[in-house]
Amino acid sequence: MSETTTQEAVLAPAAREDILDQLMKPEVQQSLTVLVENMPKLAEMVTLMTKAYDFVQGVSTDRVLIDDLKEGMDEFVKPITEKAKGIASAAIEAGDRAQAETSTIGLFGLLKMLKDPQVQQSLRYAQAFLEVLGERRK
């Protein structure tokens, strides 16, 4: 028995009438016409999507490639992570020192601090940062 005959045997007469009623609607006929006209494009799209799926499936199951990508990402992320940990550690240590220090910083203390190259670099950075924010605000 062919597939069409099998489907007809399974469908009740009422269901066949519903399908025929649907097919008689002008918008359904128009949609079917558009589908038939675009069949070559649809076949090409399905072929491309199948190739893309096969490629992704192959890449996702390639353990060597996955391990190489992981190692590459680790090499990229590791220096950033170490630098972030160093900055966080310095911030924690500075906070501890600032809490432990009880002396008052006076005018001469500030003048002395202004000679420190790190302070100068930080002030130049802060000034440039504020200038950029001001320019963007305008």
Residue 61, classed as helix, strand or coil, is coil
Residue 64, classed as helix, strand or coil, is helix
Give helix then strand counts, H and E, for the chain: 7, 0
Angle value at C-alpha 49, between 48 and 52, nearest 5 degrees: 90
Domain boundaries along the sequence of the chain? 15-105, 106-137
Determine contact, residues 116/109, Cβ cutoff 8 Å: no
pLDDT at 105: 86
pLDDT single digits (tens) 86-129: 999 999 999 999 899 888 889 998 899 999 999 999 999 999 99
Tokens coding 68: 């190489």
pLDDT single digits (tens) 27-65: 989 999 999 999 999 999 999 999 999 999 988 888 998
HSE-CB at 75 with a 13 A cutoff on CA atoms is: 6
